[in-house]
């Protein structure tokens, strides 16, 4: 597996490849699909972040607006009111890499100034392209996610072809703004305007995305496709999520954005051990 050094804001770097990297989800929202309202209070949010860090999360992804289908958009001011105090506190403690989950350029700018190292854009720079300029100016890590939302009429019927079309357009935006390849991680966007069959096809073929030449971040945690196959309660979805993490790690994915750190940490330890054995095995003559 290829090793990458991910360049982040504030002089940080993160090695991707040798071991799975866990990104803990911290929704500072009242209406997220799985844990809405649980961490809207900043003190509870920070406490949960500390818990995930102790469990093995290297990155905490702080989001102030739900991205579930049909969720009501919040104002930029409200989004910033939710996320900035949490980012500032975590940055002062210095125990983790901090990501901000936003598609708004101004929120991204203020979040990086508050101490965030990564901007995670679920619209892949195609809603507010100025995020690319902020990443270029600050050196922030940039997660570019594929989505089908708002472009249903132009989606390609083949899931991987659609990934390439969308992500190449996003990469052009990033490069034109001056973002370095070392800052970029790609996310195939499971569940974002994709039905269950599309998600499963994408999961079976995620390895094909390595042709683009960037590390991959995976966000399947507790999503609808897992509920369909594993069961709808939270425990079943966490078990199902850990299974998808293993499947995708064995296809070469690097970062796993999850709600339940221990389940995925333990499952991915086995995947990492298998990959290490495969890499150390001598070639057959």
Q: Which are the catalytic amino acids? A: 223, 257
What are the tokens at 235? 């425990």
Q: Indicate the burial class of 22 (C-beta count within 10 angstroms; 0-12, 13-18, 19 or more).
A: buried
For the chain, strand residue ranges (E) read 4-7, 13-16, 21-27, 59-63, 97-101, 118-121, 141-145, 184-187, 217-218, 255-258
Cα–Cα separations (whole angstroms), residue 142 to 72, 216, 223, 271: 25, 12, 23, 26
Q: Give 206's DSSP letter.
A: G
CB 272 within 8 A of CB 264: no
């Amino acid at each position: 597996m290829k090793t990458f050094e991910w360049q982040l804001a504030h002089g940080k770097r993160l090695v991707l490849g040798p071991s799975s990297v866990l990104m803990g989800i911290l929704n500072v929202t009242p209406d997220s699909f799985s844990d809405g309202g649980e961490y809207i209070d900043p003190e509870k949010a920070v406490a949960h972040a500390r818990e995930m860090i102790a469990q093995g999360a290297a990155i905490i992804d702080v989001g102030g607006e739900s991205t579930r289908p049909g969720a009501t958009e919040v104002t930029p001011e409200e989004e910033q009111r939710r996320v900035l105090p949490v980012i500032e506190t975590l940055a002062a403690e210095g125990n983790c890499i901090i990501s901000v989950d936003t598609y708004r350029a101004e929120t991204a700018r203020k979040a990086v100034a508050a101490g965030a190292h990564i901007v995670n854009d679920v619209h892949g720079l195609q809603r507010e392209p100025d995020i690319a300029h902020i990443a270029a100016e600050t050196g922030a890590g940039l997660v570019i996610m594929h989505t089908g939302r708002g472009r249903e009429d132009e989606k390609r019927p083949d899931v991987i072809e659609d990934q390439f079309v969308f992500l190449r357009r996003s990469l052009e935006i990033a490069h034109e703004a001056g973002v370095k390849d070392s800052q970029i991680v790609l996310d195939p966007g499971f569940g974002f305007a994709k039905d269950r069959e599309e998600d499963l096809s994408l999961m079976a073929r995620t390895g094909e995305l390595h042709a683009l030449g960037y590390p991959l971040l995976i966000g399947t945690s507790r999503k609808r496709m897992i509920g369909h196959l594993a069961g709808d309660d939270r425990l079943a979805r966490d078990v199902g999520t850990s299974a998808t993490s293993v499947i995708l790690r064995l296809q070469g994915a690097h970062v796993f954005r999850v709600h339940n750190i221990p389940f995925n940490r333990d499952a991915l330890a086995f995947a990492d051990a298998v990959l290490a054995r495969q890499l150390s095995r001598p070639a057959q003559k």
